[in-house]
Amino acid sequence: MSATVAIARVLLPAGLEQLQQRFEVRIGGLDAARERVLELVHDADVLVADPAVPVDEQLLDAAGPQLKLVANFAVGYDNIDLEACAGRGVLVTNTPDVLTNATAELALALSLSAARFLSDAESDLRQGRWPGWDPAAYRGLELSGAVVGVIGLGRIGTRYAELCRGFSSELVYASPTARPEAERSLGARRLELEELLGSADFISLHAPSRPDTHHLIDAAALEKVQPHAVLVNTSRGPLVDLDAVAAALDEGRLGAAGLDVYEGEPQVPESIRAAPRAVLTPHIGSATVKARDGMARTVAANVIAVLEGREPPNPVAI
- Nearest to 78, CA basis, from 233, 211, 176, 174: 211
The nearer residue to ligand 8YV, 140 or 285, going by C-beta atoms, is 285
The nearer residue to ligand 8YV, 20 or 288, going by C-beta atoms, is 288
CB of 300 to ligand 8YV, least distance (A): 14
Write down the catalytic residue from 24, 36, 265, 297. Answer: 265
The nearer residue to ligand 8YV, 109 or 254, going by C-beta atoms, is 109
27 in helix, strand or coil?
A: strand
283 has catalytic annotation: yes
**Sequential DSSP letters for 129-198:** ---S--TTTT----STT-EEEEE--SHHHHHHHHHHHTTT-EEEEE-SS--HHHHHHH--EE--HHHHHH
- Nearest to 181, CA basis, from 198, 157, 202: 157
* Element of type H or E holding 114: helix 100-115
CB of 15 to ligand 8YV, least distance (A): 12
CB of 74 to ligand 8YV, least distance (A): 3
Cα Rg of the chain, angstroms: 21
CB of 9 to ligand 8YV, least distance (A): 8
215 has catalytic annotation: no
Long-range (24+ apart) CB contacts under 8 A made by 239-243 are: 239/205, 239/207, 239/209, 239/213, 239/214, 239/215, 240/205, 240/215, 240/216, 241/215, 241/217, 242/268, 242/269, 242/271, 242/272, 243/269, 243/271, 243/272
CB of 131 to ligand 8YV, least distance (A): 40
User: Binding residues for ligand 8YV, per CB under 6 A?
Assistant: 50-51, 73-76, 99, 285-286
Q: Are 291 and 285 in contact (CB under 8 A)?
A: no
Q: Are 299 and 23 in contact (CB under 8 A)?
A: no
The nearer residue to ligand 8YV, 119 or 286, going by C-beta atoms, is 286
The nearer residue to ligand 8YV, 51 or 140, going by C-beta atoms, is 51
How many angstroms separate the CA atoms of 202 and 257, rounded?
10
The nearer residue to ligand 8YV, 15 or 285, going by C-beta atoms, is 285
CB of 184 to ligand 8YV, least distance (A): 28
How many angstroms separate the CA atoms of 260 and 119, rounded?
13
Write down the catalytic residue from 159, 236, 277, 292. Answer: 236
184 has catalytic annotation: no
The nearer residue to ligand 8YV, 4 or 314, going by C-beta atoms, is 314
Distances (CA, A) of 177 to 152, 194, 217: 9, 16, 19
CB of 285 to ligand 8YV, least distance (A): 5
Catalytic residues: 236, 265, 283
